[in-house]
Structure 1
């Protein structure tokens, strides 16, 4: 019975560690995207300030009349640059998340195998196959096999 308890404890610890690592990865990504949105907002605030200054500094009607077209092309060009930078950052963020996820699953797999081996069985999976879930399925399987033979 001691082996079953250590096995259950080991699996519980492995599963809890996996859940906590996944939660940490998701929180890290949320912080990253919040920071990215903050940087974009600050950039937009600065652009609005520059546009306002241009309007205030215009002293002639023709100079004021061309500001909207100049602002459009400037914002269009800046928008393309921001979109490209955001795309590159999104790819990097996804790569970082995928790497973290792979590491978390690899660690979970190693922890699970360690729990099975620590159970004291020569064959780690034999303990799993002797579990109560298999005992309940065995009589039904034998009954079906007997019915086919008849």
Structure 2
């Protein structure tokens, strides 16, 4: 897939298909983008799980926090990654170990690793890179 341009119909399909989202790299700091996106997604009706090993068992902006993807007690449709690009491959590997596996990996603004994305796609995951659902949803009228 070309990760430079995403068709609006593709993004709309991803964002309307997904019901459960794990936000990896969640911050308890309300000034951080991950914190604001968690609250936005919860307010839009998604079931959101925050992932932050140092904050496990507590709430981050209306979402329960878990130490890892494997600790989340229900299937995840999409993993939204707020980690530096060099960590994307590891997050993908962790997602691939889940049963069932999520369908989507979404990496936030500034988070892009084309080799990791290709690996994920070869394993059957759909990847969106360097985008924010909290920006795309209003732009798409969702």
TM-score by length of 1: 0.20
Higher relative contact order (CA 8 A, sep 6+): 1
Structure with greater helix percent: 1
Bigger radius of gyration among the two: 1
- Per the normalisation by structure 2, the TM-score is 0.20
